[in-house]
Amino acid sequence: MKISVAMATYNGERFLEEQLASLAAQTRLPDELVVCDDQSSDRTVEIVAAFARRAPFPVHLYRNERNLGFGDNFLRAASRCQGDWIAFCDQDDVWLPDKLRRVAAHVDLPGRNVLVVAHNAEVVDERLVRSGVRYLNLRKTRVRPGRHLPNLWVASGFTMMFRADLIREIPYEDRGPDPGVPTAGLAHDVWICRVARILGDVVILPECLVLYRRHLTTTTAFLAGGNQRVKESKKLGRRLRDLATGGADTYRRHSSAAAYQAAVFGRLAHEPRLARWGAPFARAAADYADLSNWLLARSRVYGDERFLRRARSLLAMLRANGHVRFNGYSWRNAKQVLKELFFDVAIAIHGPR
């Protein structure tokens, strides 16, 4: 089995050398590193080129002719990989030495069609000082059929390794919009996880195998500079105002994105060269159409000015059981289910502000 590492770079000179050094220190070295640079204006390309001359594995460096954005840049890098499995690699993290060895041990499980292996990470600051916060916070090793995971399940790219078939055989160019960034395509890791969830099995490991560096210039703002998750201690009135203010527009955008996703999977279901996956893609298209309808009903709960119409939309949401079906909640974590329901009911009663 050959493992490729796909790295997307953009003005990453500040932390890039530490990440490259951690790749060279792996107990199971990658078989190649493919770097796609997205028009950096600093020393990023020079640093990668220098590393390529001394690396204990082949390094292939490409420069995009135009800026693609991080999602398309990662997918471009992955599409150029030659390995059987591909690991996404951020430019500013640090891999712990056993990352590739531990993940590789779980890709060929008897009786399973493993397409993605994901793991925990530990959040650190820009100086690699550990925060004690585990990203993903997975508790034990799990092997799950993808269809048993929620529609919206995703593992961040830097925590995962995936089978190369997912990028080589399934077209990603028209994969749908990112509901959070309507001008961008769906993020690379979201797309790979959605396809893997539809077509095979997922392995989730509890080990922390990456130091997940959060800093003020990081592309993703989650936990930037440490553990800055939204506190649950916000006053109820403020939470309701925040939800009511942006909820309707947010859920409309997500509904539109889910409808687009349903259309994408519908097209893939009828693609002759993907015929062996036609049935699971068709099921996925139906699931995402249902998700779109559920999100649209939720947008009306948050945005309609008339109480009776909000009430009807809420009833439609409850009949669809979307809190459990689409977000992956179960009665084992009933607290989260009840919290979601509480805010939906409170908004339906009080209405938009």
Q: Looking at the structure, do residues 24 and 150 belong to the same domain, yes or no?
A: yes
Mean predicted confidence (pLDDT) in 334-349: 82
Res. 353: pLDDT tops 70: no
Q: Looking at the structure, do residues 150 and 272 belong to the same domain, yes or no?
A: no
Q: Looking at the structure, do residues 14 and 94 belong to the same domain, yes or no?
A: yes
Q: Looking at the structure, do residues 88 and 179 belong to the same domain, yes or no?
A: yes
Average pLDDT of every residue of the chain? 89
Instruction: Domain count for the chain, please give it.
Output: 2
What is the C-alpha separation between 156 and 162, in angstroms, rounded?
A: 12
Note the pLDDT of residue 324: 78
Asked whether the beta carbons of 247 and 317 are under 8 A apart, the reply is: no
> pLDDT digits over 268-305, tens only?
999 999 999 999 999 999 999 999 999 999 999 988 88
Range in 2-16, 115-129, 141-155, 306-320 the model is least confident about: 141-155
pTM of the model: 0.89
Residue 229 resides in a domain: no
Note the pLDDT of residue 277: 97
For residue 7, which amino acid is it? M
Tokens 């640093």 belong to 47
Strand bridging mode 114-124 / 201-213? parallel
3-state secondary structure of 340: helix
What is the C-alpha separation between 209 and 69, in angstroms, rounded?
A: 26
Strand bridging mode 59-63 / 32-37? parallel
Note the pLDDT of residue 229: 37
What is the C-alpha separation between 311 and 305, in angstroms, rounded?
A: 11
Q: Residue 283 is part of which domain span?
A: 236-350
Q: Which residues of 212-242 are buried (b: 16+ CB within 10 A; e: fewer)?
A: bbbeeebeeeebbebeeeeeeeeeeeeebee
Final residue of a structural domain among 178, 213, 248? 213
Residue 114 resides in a domain: yes
Asked whether the beta carbons of 160 and 118 are under 8 A apart, the reply is: yes
Residue 220 resides in a domain: no
Asked whether the beta carbons of 298 and 319 are under 8 A apart, the reply is: no
Residue 72 resides in a domain: yes
Residue 147 resides in a domain: yes
Res. 221: pLDDT tops 60: no
Count of all residues that appear for the chain in the document = 353
Res. 203: pLDDT tops 50: yes
What is the C-alpha separation between 156 and 295, in angstroms, rounded?
A: 23
Residue 181 resides in a domain: yes
Q: Looking at the structure, do residues 197 and 246 belong to the same domain, yes or no?
A: no
Q: Looking at the structure, do residues 67 and 31 belong to the same domain, yes or no?
A: yes
Note the pLDDT of residue 233: 40
Note the pLDDT of residue 236: 56
Final residue of a structural domain among 181, 213, 245? 213
We report the CATH number of the domain holding residue 129 as 3.90.550.10
Residue 225 resides in a domain: no
> pLDDT digits over 67-111, tens only?
999 999 999 999 999 999 999 999 999 999 999 999 999 999 999
Q: Looking at the structure, do residues 279 and 195 belong to the same domain, yes or no?
A: no
CA atoms 257, 117, 157, 77: torsion sign:
negative
> pLDDT digits over 102-160, tens only?
999 999 999 999 999 999 999 999 999 988 888 877 788 889 898 888 888 889 999 99
Residue 230 resides in a domain: no
Note the pLDDT of residue 274: 97
Range in 114-118, 120-124, 241-245, 320-324 the model is least confident about: 241-245
pLDDT band at 183 (very low <50, low <70, confident <90, very high): confident
Note the pLDDT of residue 339: 80
Q: Looking at the structure, do residues 209 and 248 belong to the same domain, yes or no?
A: no
Q: Looking at the structure, do residues 62 and 126 belong to the same domain, yes or no?
A: yes
Q: Looking at the structure, do residues 52 and 143 belong to the same domain, yes or no?
A: yes
Q: Looking at the structure, do residues 45 and 166 belong to the same domain, yes or no?
A: yes
Q: Looking at the structure, do residues 29 and 114 belong to the same domain, yes or no?
A: yes
| Nearest CA-CA partner of 156 in 125, 195, 187, 131 | 187
pLDDT band at 342 (very low <50, low <70, confident <90, very high): confident
